[in-house]
Chain A
Amino acid sequence: MLTRLLSDRRLLLVALIVVTVLGMAVFVPTALQPGILLNMSKFGVVVGILAIGQTVVILTGRGNIDLSVGSTLSLAGVILALLATSGVNVWLAAVAAIAVGALLGAVNGLLVTVIGVPALIGTIGTLFLYGSAALVLSGGIAIGGFVTDGFSVISYGTLAGAPFQLIFVMIPLYLIVGFLLSSTRWGRAIYEVGNNDRAATLVGLSPVGVRMSAFVLSGTLAGVGAVVMTAWLLTSRPEAGAGLELMALVVAVFGGTHIFGGRGTLSGTFLAVVLVTLLNTGMQMAGIEQTWQRGVLGALLVGAVLLNNFLGQHRS
């Protein structure tokens, strides 16, 4: 009974969200004010956007994973700020940052699908490469002070109290990619390739093309994440994305996406983003340092996979 209940991850997540909210009500009641929650959602938005790409990449199977999303975000953000400070219109620079993200995603895709490097080490290589490129390009310092041209509206504009980046960026992205996954040929191809490479080839799908598209999507979304983060902080730190790959991975795996692909839903990922954002808000308000927060997330990641494996054994 318990295992069956747990096997739809979304039920478990809803339960955990309720428990977390109750826990916050007891220990850090101040964190539950709408103003604070909506403000903290800005952080959740960045993670949530990256987690979409991570989910899709993991769904394509073969142990695919994108560990470079944090560094991609850093590098795209640095390029955005460099362009903007050199006089390029900030909106144009934002478009360029998204294009850079797509390009970096394509490099990952080439490494993994065309050359055949296992994704975990290929994207760890690019994690280091993109991350250090961001440091080298920026000289290791934060870049700010560009003309914003109303750019910050993405993060500071609100509709009924909710930040624009939540209602006009993250939620639409979840709806669009969720629709694409559930109702289009491309979405079915993602799941089929993830479930069974050979069978997918036999029905005329190209696993290389499908996986490539997933990595490009992930990179592009990291570019979008860079835009959102820069609009929020109005400065680009070369290490802005450090640790975000962990968050995105935790969220995707916690959301019930099977680490070997083929199984998982974007709605699960969405619920996991809500949970992780709540946890973060709670820890932040309780004055827990970031290093501790990441430690908790690391433990959650290991725990989530152990749970997935345990449930998987019971089912088979």
Chain B
Amino acid sequence: MSTATSTSSRHTLGEAFVGRAEQIRRAAIFVLLGAQFLLFSLLLPNFLTAGNLQNIAVRAAPLAIVAAVMTLILLLGAIDVSVGSMLGVLAWVVGTLTVADLGVATVLAAVLLAGAAMGSVNGLIVGKGKVLPIVGTLGMLFVWRAVVYGLWDNSDVFAPPLLPVLTDRVAGIPVSLFVVAVVYAAVWYVLRFRPYGRHVYAVGNDAEAARLVGINVDRVIISTYALLGLAVAVASVFYMSRTGVVQAFTGEWFELGVIASVLIGGTRITGGRGSVIGTLGGVCFVATLENGIVLMGVPSLWNDFALGAMILIAVSADALISRRTAAKGAQG
């Protein structure tokens, strides 16, 4: 970030334009969200009811938690498309250990450990192995899916909720919402005030420069992937509390909603720019879209189509803005 401001004084006109475009882009998600709420409230009589909004909040918890940490991954200039398959593996762990009646603490410890381990594997491949994140995690998407398949072994796992409190409500507010709020506050705080947060932005802006100022780039990458694994583990506990079943395809396409949320929320696919607050807006948009499509009675197939289109619109807008940035920079 600091490199961007230090060169900006030379071409102020271009920077003013870019600053404006950036601001509009950052605000876009909230305008979009407002428009979406207005539209659905007018079209769908059942949309703006306490019951429906609570329903959205409970359903969206896994998406929200994983998207918060996926923001860090994208800020690094990386990506992880294997989170859906990881969710499948970890949901199986939660379900099976819950059925085995091992006690809440043991199950939680086991799933968090497993999540961190799986995330670290992805992190090592990208951080130490220098495999392009999209290629490495695409490979792991299929590897983790095969693991789900092997564990599942032709028998669905049915399990009672590990923590029934997660789907409860306190004064009408779902408990999951409190957890999500804590996760976002924590990620926001770390990004803003902790050295690790600055390191994430620095690596995303220019990994080579970050290395030169003494940041252990590999460690930042590996630990962020491990953190993502932890987030997927937490998400799987929420997922199992709500659905109570693991099948061979559990978690398929989960990554689509997560990545769409982060990108629509304004985080750049090229790294270094974005915020977790934007992601929260993106999550609300994606979760509300799914809900609205169901309420409208439109086949849910359209949901993925809409998400794909939203991803393309968001990244196209970002590309056009940074293209303008480059052009203005070259003129100045």
| Residues of A near any B CB (own CB < 8 A) | 63, 65, 67, 111, 115-118, 120-122, 124-129, 131-133, 135-136, 139-140, 243, 246, 249, 253, 259, 289, 291-292, 294-302, 305-306, 309
> Hey, which chain B residues are within 8 Å of A309, CB to CB?
129-131
Query: In the complex, what's the smallest C-beta–C-beta distance from A243 to chain B, in angstroms?
Result: 7
Does residue B304 face the partner (Cβ distance < 8 Å to A)?
A: yes
Query: In the complex, what's the smallest C-beta–C-beta distance from A227 to chain B, in angstroms?
Result: 24
B311 touches which of A125, A131, A292, A297 (Cβ 8 Å): A125
A249-B138, A309-B131 given as contacts; is B143 within 8 A of A116 (CB)?
no
In angstroms, Cα B263 to Cα A246, docked, is: 23
> Hey, which chain B residues are within 8 Å of A253, CB to CB?
135
Q: Is the CB of B312 within 8 A of A246?
A: no
Query: In the complex, what's the smallest C-beta–C-beta distance from A136 to chain B, in angstroms?
Result: 5
- Having A121-B79, A128-B305, A298-B139, one finds 6 other A-B pairs with CB under 8 Å, namely A124-B81, A129-B305, A135-B301, A246-B139, A292-B150, A306-B125
In angstroms, Cα B270 to Cα A292, docked, is: 33
Q: Is the CB of B132 within 8 A of A305?
A: yes
Query: In the complex, what's the smallest C-beta–C-beta distance from A264 to chain B, in angstroms?
Result: 14
Query: In the complex, what's the smallest C-beta–C-beta distance from B129 to chain A, in angstroms?
Result: 5
> Hey, which chain A residues are within 8 Å of B130, CB to CB?
309
Residues of B154-190 whose CB lies within 8 A of A: none
A302 touches which of B139, B146, B259, B315 (Cβ 8 Å): B139
Q: Is the CB of A299 within 8 A of B139?
A: yes
Chosen A-B contacts, 28 in total, with CB atoms closer than 8 Å, are A67-B134, A115-B319, A115-B323, A120-B134, A121-B134, A121-B311, A121-B315, A122-B315, A125-B309, A128-B304, A128-B311, A129-B305, A132-B304, A132-B305, A132-B308, A133-B305, A135-B304, A139-B299, A140-B299, A246-B142, A259-B132, A291-B146, A300-B139, A305-B131, A305-B132, A305-B135, A306-B129, A309-B129
Q: Is the CB of B142 within 8 A of A116?
A: no
| Nearest CB in chain B to that of A309: its residue | B130
| Residues of B near any A CB (own CB < 8 A) | 79, 81, 125, 129-132, 134-136, 138-143, 145-147, 149-150, 248, 256, 259, 263, 269-270, 299, 301-302, 304-305, 307-309, 311-312, 315-316, 318-320, 322-323
Query: In the complex, what's the smallest C-beta–C-beta distance from A256 to chain B, in angstroms?
Result: 15
Q: Is the CB of B304 within 8 A of A131?
A: yes
In angstroms, Cα B79 to Cα A219, docked, is: 24
Q: Is the CB of B305 within 8 A of A246?
A: no
> Hey, which chain A residues are within 8 Å of B125, CB to CB?
302, 306
Query: In the complex, what's the smallest C-beta–C-beta distance from B113 to chain A, in angstroms?
Result: 22
In angstroms, Cα B311 to Cα A6, docked, is: 40
